[in-house]
């Protein structure tokens, strides 16, 4: 794949510009500034930052690859997640911002106790360091190496770590968010350009529809036997994963906590929801189009569902190469540099978000606990050291991942086993006053035990589990919630102050209704939420 000097210059200019812009807008005077950008961000910035942080280089590679293999089924994760965002914005977000918390585990302590907080914080840090950060570097380096095959994998990893770390470690969340704002714009524009070039290459929308209308290529609802998204898993499994990612995940919620007001936080989440509806066009459909434009030089590729491993063994097609191959095949000189900048944006924004997350979790959940009198400057210093060490660990762990493919290949599946107990605990804490700290911790531990049994059975003992992981997730959720209910009912009443401050009631809804009476409709978050829900289901029925 030959890349022109012009494209390389565009890419280098973009990287230098991003670092300069991020450092210029960094804030690190105190802990509020460094970890939560001074709690001063407006909704457009929050929305763009959430979008950039949620889209990694592996997302671009994975979405286009899934589009090539099975059509638009993977979009189910996105549109269902938009519904989750609406629920999160309406109910959970106000409690998070009002409480003044720095981390998601901190909310569990305010509602329950420190045991639940430490458990959640520990597994989040572990996952962020050894899975999120390292996997982002590794998969991103693989993609970039397809474009620059002469470069060593470890060299690419170091460069990418240096780019993201240069502004995140120094400037904190404000630097990361300001960089995300530019990176999100480049990511959206660049991906849209690739979509239109791909659509033109296949002969337009009508030709695309004609070629793939048969079968399930352009359908979201899949049979129960579908390996990607069985229809029942779409409705009862994806919402659990979506809620964990958007409402419990420190990487994402930390950006929401930086909002100047609850209204800005809500509108930022709704904004990224609207952006996510377009991912079917800019991320997924290009992969499907690639199947019809002879991207790999294979004639008469069968137009039916083919497993990715079969494509590789029978036709020599590696679906991880779909996205970078489209870039080089379809785009002219100059535009390639812009799309490469979009790919780098996806990598660095996700890595930056992970660094901010771990830094905040360790500093506020652990260091501050043992050093309660530490001032803001001391906490910022600890945060920077933590970010640097995480980056070093990730750089050296990333190449090792290639020896353990399951860490990347099954990350989403493993998350579907670990996330349900956490999601259940947050729901019980907010909506059931009787849930106490003993019930919460017992629910978390029972869910962890069941998840461990499933993973050992599948990955250590090598036994086949017939149920799709999207169908196992709700089973784990129900078990952990039942344990929470039983233990809570069999033990003491929860602390009244904790319940009153951290539990949703109908009075809250009525109070917000009164406050919205004089708000013009296009600024009313409930109206915007309704429009977003309507747009979601419209999209679903178009591709039903």
The CA distance from 228 to 222, in Å, is 9
Q: If you search the block for the tokens 């029972």, which residue do you land on?
A: 446
Torsion of CA 497, 498, 499, 504, to 10 degrees: 110
Residue 151, CA atoms < 13 Å, CB-side half-sphere: 17
End-to-end CA separation in angstroms for the chain: 38
Q: Who contacts 487 (Cβ-Cβ below 8 Å, separation ≥6)? A: 438, 439, 442, 443
Angle, helices 437-455 vs 114-127, to 10°: value is 30
Please, what is the Cα angle at 291 between 290 and 296, to 5 degrees? 80
> What is the residue-level pLDDT of the chain in tens, covering all 544 positions?
567 888 889 888 988 999 999 888 888 888 888 888 888 899 999 999 999 988 877 788 788 888 988 889 989 999 999 999 999 999 999 999 988 899 999 999 999 999 999 999 998 888 888 778 887 888 778 777 877 788 888 898 898 899 888 888 998 889 989 888 898 898 899 899 999 999 999 999 999 988 888 878 899 988 888 877 889 999 999 999 999 999 999 989 999 999 999 999 999 999 999 999 999 999 999 999 988 887 777 766 776 666 666 776 677 777 877 888 888 888 888 888 888 888 788 888 888 888 999 999 999 999 998 898 888 889 999 999 999 999 998 898 888 776 654 444 556 677 788 899 999 999 999 999 999 999 999 999 999 999 889 888 877 787 877 788 889 999 999 999 999 999 999 999 999 989 999 999 999 999 999 999 989 999 999 999 999 999 999 999 988 8
Q: Who contacts 336 (Cβ-Cβ below 8 Å, separation ≥6)? A: 3, 4, 7, 327, 328
Q: What is the DSSP string of 305-344?
A: ---HHHHHHHH---GGGHHHHHHHHHPPTTHHHHHHHHHH
pLDDT at 408: 45
Contact (CB, 8 A) for 322 and 343 = no
Contact (CB, 8 A) for 363 and 198 = no
Angle, helices 411-431 vs 437-455, to 10°: value is 160
pLDDT at 76: 93
> Measuring CA to CA, which residue among 14, 33, 37, 89 is closest to residue 348?
14
Eight-class DSSP state of 495: P
Q: What is the pTM of this model?
A: 0.91
The CA distance from 261 to 40, in Å, is 8
Q: Tally Cβ neighbours within 10 Å of residue 68.
A: 29
Angle, helices 469-490 vs 411-431, to 10°: value is 30
Distance between alpha carbon 192 and the CA centroid of its chain, in Å?
20
323-359: b or e for each residue (b if 16 or more CB lie within 10 Å)?
bbbbbbbbbeeebbbbbbbbbbbbbbbbbbbbbbbbb
Q: In 25-74, which residue ranges form alpha helices assigned H by DSSP?
A: 31-36, 43-54, 57-70
| 3-state SS string for 161-211 | HHHHHHHHHHHHHHHHHHHHHHHHHHHHHHHHHHHHHHHHHHCCHHHHHHH
The CA distance from 198 to 288, in Å, is 10
What tokens were used for 192? 């849209």
Q: Tally Cβ neighbours within 10 Å of residue 460.
A: 8
> At 300, is the secondary structure helix, strand, or coil?
coil
Q: What is the DSSP string of 376-409?
A: HHHHHHHHHHHHHHHHHHHHHHGGGGGG-THHHH
Contact (CB, 8 A) for 281 and 72 = no
Contact (CB, 8 A) for 216 and 71 = yes
Eight-class DSSP state of 363: I
The CA distance from 111 to 387, in Å, is 28
Contact (CB, 8 A) for 532 and 82 = yes
Residue 354, CA atoms < 13 Å, CB-side half-sphere: 32
Q: Who contacts 132 (Cβ-Cβ below 8 Å, separation ≥6)? A: 251, 350, 354
């Amino acid at each position: 794949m030959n890349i022109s000097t012009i494209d390389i210059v565009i890419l280098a200019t973009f990287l230098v510009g991003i670092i300069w812009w991020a450092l210029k807008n960094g804030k690190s005077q105190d802990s509020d500034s460094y970890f939560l950008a001074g709690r001063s961000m407006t909704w457009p910035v929050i929305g763009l930052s959430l979008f950039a942080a949620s889209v990694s280089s592996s997302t671009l590679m994975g979405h286009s690859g899934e589009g090539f293999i099975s059509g638009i089924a993977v979009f189910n994760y996105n549109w269902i997640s938009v519904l989750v965002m609406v629920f999160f914005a309406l109910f959970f977000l106000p409690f998070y911002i009002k409480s003044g918390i720095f981390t998601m585990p901190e909310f569990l302590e305010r509602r329950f106790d420190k045991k639940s907080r430490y458990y959640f914080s520990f597994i989040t840090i572990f996952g962020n360091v050894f899975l999120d950060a390292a996997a982002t570097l590794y998969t991103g380096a693989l993609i970039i190496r397809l474009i620059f095959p002469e470069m060593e994998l470890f060299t690419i990893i170091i460069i990418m770590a240096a780019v993201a770390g240069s502004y995140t470690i120094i400037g904190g969340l404000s630097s990361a968010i300001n960089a995300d704002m530019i990176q999100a714009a480049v990511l959206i524009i660049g991906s849209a350009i690739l979509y239109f070039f791909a659509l033109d290459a296949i002969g337009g929308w009508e030709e695309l529809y004609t070629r793939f209308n048969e079968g399930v290529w352009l359908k979201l609802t899949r049979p129960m036997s579908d390996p990607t998204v069985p229809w029942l898993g779409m409705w009862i499994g994806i919402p659990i994963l979506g809620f964990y990612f958007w409402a419990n995940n420190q990487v994402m919620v930390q950006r929401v906590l930086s909002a100047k007001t609850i209204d800005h936080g809500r509108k930022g989440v709704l904004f990224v929801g609207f952006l996510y509806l377009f991912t079917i066009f800019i991320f997924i459909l290009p992969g499907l189009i690639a199947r019809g434009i002879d991207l790999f030089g294979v004639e008469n590729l069968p137009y039916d569902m083919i497993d990715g491993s079969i494509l590789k063994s029978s036709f020599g097609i590696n679906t991880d190469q779909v996205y970078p191959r489209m870039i080089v095949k379809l785009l002219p000189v100059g535009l390639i540099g812009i799309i490469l900048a979009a790919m780098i944006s996806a990598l660095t924004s996700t890595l930056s978000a992970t660094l901010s997350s771990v830094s905040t979790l360790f500093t506020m959940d652990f260091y501050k606990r043992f050093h309660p009198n530490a001032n803001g400057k001391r906490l910022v210093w600890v945060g920077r050291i933590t970010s640097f060490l995480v980056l070093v660990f990730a750089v050296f762990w990333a190449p090792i991942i290639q020896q353990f493919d399951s860490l990347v290949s099954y990350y989403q599946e493993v998350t579907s086993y670990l996330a349900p107990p956490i999601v259940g605990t947050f729901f019980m804490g907010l909506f059931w006053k009787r849930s106490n700290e003993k019930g919460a911790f017992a629910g978390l531990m029972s869910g962890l035990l069941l998840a461990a049994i499933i993973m050992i059975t599948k990955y250590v003992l090598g036994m086949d589990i017939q149920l799709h992981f999207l169908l196992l997730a709700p089973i784990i959720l129900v078990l952990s919630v039942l344990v929470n209910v039983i233990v809570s009912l069999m033990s003491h009443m929860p602390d009244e102050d904790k319940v009153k401050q951290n539990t949703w009631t109908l009075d809250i809804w009525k109070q917000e209704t009164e406050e919205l009476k004089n708000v013009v409709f296009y600024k009313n978050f409930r109206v915007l939420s309704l429009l977003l829900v309507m747009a979601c289901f419209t999209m679903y029925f178009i591709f039903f």
